Structures are given as C-alpha cells and as structure tokens.
Structure 1
Amino acid sequence: MRVGIGLPAAVPGVDARRLGEWAAAAEEAGFDAVGVIDRLVYDNLEPLTALAAAAARTSRVELVTTVLNIGWRSNAVLLAKQLASVDQLSGGRLTAGVGLGGWPDDFIASGAAQHGFGELWTTSLETWRQVWAGKLEGMSNLPDGRPGLLFGGLVPAAYRRAAVHGQGWVAPLFGTATLEQGASAVRTAWKDAGRSGDPRIVTGRYFALGPEADAVADEYIRHYYGDAYFEFARADTLTTPAALRDHLTGLRAAGATDVIFYPASPDHDQVSLLAEALAVSRSGVW
C-alpha cells in the first residue's frame, strides 16, 4: 500500500510560504505522495497552485488531487492547461483525481449550472485529450498517459468512468463501508472494460497527532464540515499512532491501494509525527 500525506493547504490560517517546506519534509520522510483537497468558498489555497509549490521543492513524490472539482471549473481548455503545467513543472508526477464537487455554495459563487453533468464529463475528457496530445494549435503535447487521472463519485457511471478513462477511483475521506463497496464496483467495471491489472483505489483520512490532537481535530473537522457532517467525518479522523496503524490495516482490507493522510493542523511537526507513527520507510510503501 502506498502512503501519502496531505499538504495543509486547506487548514485555515496556514502560512502558505511553508507549503514547499512541508512537501520537501514529506519526501525526505519517505512518503509516497503529497495531496490536496478542493473547495471554492473556503479559506484554502487553490489546489493546483499548492501542488505547483510542492513540485518546486520535491523530485520524487507523486502530486495528487483527491479530488479536483470540475463541476464549477467549466473552462475545459484552461483546466487542461493548468493540469499540464503542474505535470510539466513536476516532471510528470501529477495524478489528478477529479470529481464534480458537492458543496452548493461553490456552484452558486461560480455561477456554474448544477445539471448536465454527463455532457460536462464527455466534453471535458475529450478536450483534455486534445490539449494534452497537442491537437490544439499552440499547445504543447504531453507524453501519453500524462497527467494520470483518477475519478471520484459514488454512482455506477462514476465507477465505469474510473475503469474506462483512468487509473482508478478516489473514495471519500471517511466511511470504510463506502470504500469497500465502491472498490468492489470499480474492480468489476475494470474487468468489464477489458483492462489488465488492477485499478488504483485511492482514499484519504484526516489526522492530528500530539498533546492536543483531539481538540485540534474537533476544531478543524467542525470548521470544514459544519455540524451536519461533523459526526461522520470525525469518526474516521485519527489522533493516536495506534488508531492510525489499525485504521490503515482496515483500509487495506477494504480494498485501498493508496491512502493520503490530511492534516488537521498546519504545524510542521505533523509530518515527522505521522512518519514515526506509521514507521514510513524510504521505499514509500507501508
């Protein structure tokens, strides 16, 4: 199983100038990837910008979005160029997990329609392929298969999309039963599509470590999810080394191939505390 750590780009009040240091420390500690999550109407950094900062300070780790929301990023050519730019800056290390996005405020603020998503997916995927293959005049082409794509979503069409168009599927950041059910559905869709090998099944969990871990986790999860989803998200937020290790074992049993742990705290020592808790090796494999 590959283990990554999230950048604190969605932790309110983070010193954005230290994101590069965080990414460099993650690579040095042996993590396999650094990740970002996505919101529009929230006190977070734009995720591709955050990954560009990480790319500049690293040379090995995969750069992952779990997920980048395309529902309100309606300019497919612009998004394709942004993704290509991060991929080029990193030397081909970007894997874009993409989904529609589920926060109503983000759609309202952007003026994006909350319907017609089937057509949006079709148009976006075709446009991205054209841009990355250099078929639009003036656009640089990328090597085949770059950037890597993963797909989120909890409906049969999403599982088929992950199987046909991507490397695999991104599960939500909480809910082991949802992970297990989705992983099984994606693997079935993968075989039905005639794909060889196995799909990647990527998920994430929130964590905080240290003396005030529970209080830090409570504050962050409530701030991000509000009261409506606090209980569900907090139940899978991990605050002790033993809980991290046990939960990681459970995620692997449920079908995950990759896990990214997202910090509830911007403190730099969270990188070393997580690496120590999981005994992450320089091989990047747990």
Structure 2
Amino acid sequence: MHIGLGLPVDDPDVLLDWARRADAGPFRTLALLDRLVWHNPEPLVTLGVLAGATTRIRLQTEVLLAPLRSTALLGAQAATLDRLSGGRFTLGLGLGGRADDLAAAGIPARGLGARLDGQIDRLRAQFGGPVGDEGPAGARIGPEPATPGGPEILFGAFHEKALARIARAGDGLICAAAPSWAGGLIGTLRRQWAEAGREGRPRIVGQLNVALGADAPAARESLGAYYAFTGTPERMVAGLVTEAPALRSGIRAFEDLGADEVVLYCWSTDPDQVERLAETVGGAH
C-alpha cells in the first residue's frame, strides 16, 4: 500500500521545502486541501508550482471544490497540470457546501450535486478532445493531458448518493472517514461499482490527520480552527494522530480494508515532519 503526504495549509511559504523533502522520501503523493474563505493556498496554482520543484512524487487535490469553479477553466487547468507534470496529477473532487465558500463564489446552495454531475461529464469530454460547442470547429479547451483520457478523477464522499456518483463516473474514493466508519463506505462503493458494470475495482485512498512529536499542541489548534465551521471541531481534534504507534495502527487499519493508499495530512507547518513521518512509515511507497 502507498503512503501519501497531505500538505499543511497554514503557511504557503514552507511548501516548496515540504515538496522537495517529500520527493526524496518514501511518499507516493502530495495532496492539498481546498477552501475558498480561508488562508489556505489555492490548490491548482500551488500544485503547479510544486510540480516544477519535484520529479517523482504525484500531485493530488483532496478535494477540490468543483462547483465553485467554471467547468471549462477547471478542465483547462487540470489538463495543463497533468501535461506539465508528466502525468503525475490526480484530480480529487468534492461538493463542499460551506455557506461562506458558496457565498464568496456566488453559487447557490441548492443543486450542488446536479451541478457536479454535469461538470464531470463535461470534464471527461473536454479531456478527450474537442467539445464541439465553443470556438471554431475542432478546437479543444486547454492542452491535451499527458494521461490518456485525462487525469484520474477521485471523489470525496460520505453518503450513498455520492458513492453512486463514483460508481457511475469516477475512478475511486477519497475516504476521509476514520477506519472504523470507512469500511461501510468502501463496501457500499464496491457493491455499487459492480452493479454499474464497471470492470476492476475502484481506487481507495484513506486519510489520517497527523502531527508527530512536540508540534501536536499547535497542530490541534490549527485543526480545530479549520473545522470550527462544523460546530463540533473537538471531534476532528480528538482524531489527530500524534504518536508513531497510533500512526502505524491507523495505516494498518486502512490496509486491512483494502485501501490502495493512505494520505497523512499534517497540521504542523514544520518541514521536519516530513522526515519524522518518513521514518515512521518506513520504506512504503
């Protein structure tokens, strides 16, 4: 099973250092969260910069809030990032739904699911070639991706309807649920995937929130502030993994569920976390 690294969102200035260290380590993927009304760096711009600073590691949005964005522009940006990174990009998408994000983007809260469904169909068509209804005949929007058919598309999902979207049009699940809850989501998706007549199995990417060592108090504060909008941020803070044995246990739990990868989201900005986490996970990548 692969191990990815989720980048901290509180200090964009350290992310080049994080990326270069991670590229030299055992990690398969660099991932970045998305939120509009916050001080986090914009994911596609940031991953574009990090693509030029790395050579091996994959780049992933986890998850990009697609309904906040123009579909045509999103497709051009994703294809560009995939092309310039040599096919190292995975497009992780989700609905979002925070009222402040939606207000800032001028997007109504109703109909987000239908909007995302339409965006996925359009993105697939756009990645595949000319879409035929804009510009001159035969023109495409954005460059041809390096990955045939466009970058892998994963979805963050917690409910059966969202899992059905993956079975219909996605390549896999980004599972932010704790392993104790994740098993039910993964089982439901695999059933829906088979019922939809899809070949193979959906890709499963788990998540763990982490901060090892003395950085844990500041990481708890950061995590709590980020999830304050939920009204119960203490639930997220309680799940922060701060010790190596608990981290290894969480990774094993996802491995037992058949996950393909686990992304370790770090809530400390200290780049030395990269080496601490690498030492803990060993040579897996």
Same fold, judged at TM 0.5 (above): yes
Is it true that 1:95 corresponds to 2:63 in the alignment? no
Counterpart pick for 1:18 among 6, 14, 19: 14
Q: 1:224 aligns with which of 223, 226, 231?
A: 226
Q: Distance in 1 between matches of 2:231 and 2:179?
A: 19
Separation in 1, partners of 2:222, 2:114: 36
Structure 1 residues 231 and 251: CA distance shift in structure 2, 3 A: farther
In structure 1, what is the equivalent of residue 123 of structure 2? 128
| Secondary structure in 2 matching 1:237 | coil
1:166 aligns with 2:156: no
* Aligned residue type for 2:211: A
**2:127–2:149 CA contact under 8 A, matched in 1:** no
Query: 1:138 deviation in Å?
Result: 4.5
Q: Which runs of 5+ in 1 are unaligned?
A: none
User: Which residue in the other structure is 2:252 paired with?
Assistant: 249
CA–CA distance in structure 1, aligned partners of residues 260 and 237 of structure 2: 23
The match for 2:3 is 3
Shift of 1:53: 1.6
SS at 2:251's partner residue? helix
The residue type equivalent to 2:203 in the other structure is: R
Superposed, 1:249-268 pairs within 5 Å as 249-268=252-271
CA distance in structure 2 between the partners assigned to 1:29 and 1:112 by the alignment: 40
Amino acid of the residue matched to residue 86 of structure 1? L
2:208 counterpart of 1:208 = no
Q: RMSD of aligned C-alpha atoms? A: 1.7
CA distance in 1, matches of 2:115, 2:215: 44
The question of whether the paired residues in 2 share the 8 Å contact of 1:162 and 1:169 is answered with: yes
Per-residue deviation, residues 10-58 of structure 1 (Å, max 9, x unmatched)? 12xx1x3432221121121120111011111011000111111221111
Contact 1:63–1:95 under 8 Å retained in 2: yes
Query: Is the aligned partner of 1:85 residue 2:80?
Result: yes
For residue 30 of structure 2, give the secondary structure of its aligned residue in structure 1.
strand
Query: 2:208·2:263 contact (CA, 8 Å) conserved in 1?
Result: yes
Equivalent of 1:145 in 129, 145, 149: 149
Deviation at 1:123, TM superposition (A): 2.1
Q: Residue in 1 aligned with 2:136?
A: none
What TM-score, normalized to structure 1? 0.90
Give % identity: 35
The runs of 5 or more residues in structure 2 that have no matched partner are: 132-138
Distance 2:56 2:75 in 1: 23
CA contact (8 A) 2:179 2:250 kept: no
Instruction: Return 118-127 or 39-48, whichever deviates more.
Output: 118-127
Amino acid paired to 1:237: L
Q: CA offsets, 1:190-235, max 9 Å, x none?
A: 111222222111121211112242x123211111112723222122
Deviates more, 1:91-100 or 1:145-154: 145-154
- Structure 2 counterpart of 1:54, from 50, 57, 80: 50
Write the distance in 2 (CA, Å) between the matches of 1:122 and 1:280. Answer: 38
Please give the alpha-carbon distance, in whole angstroms, between the structure 2 residues aligned to 1:266 and 1:95: 23
Distance in 1 between the 2:279 and 2:260 partners? Answer: 21
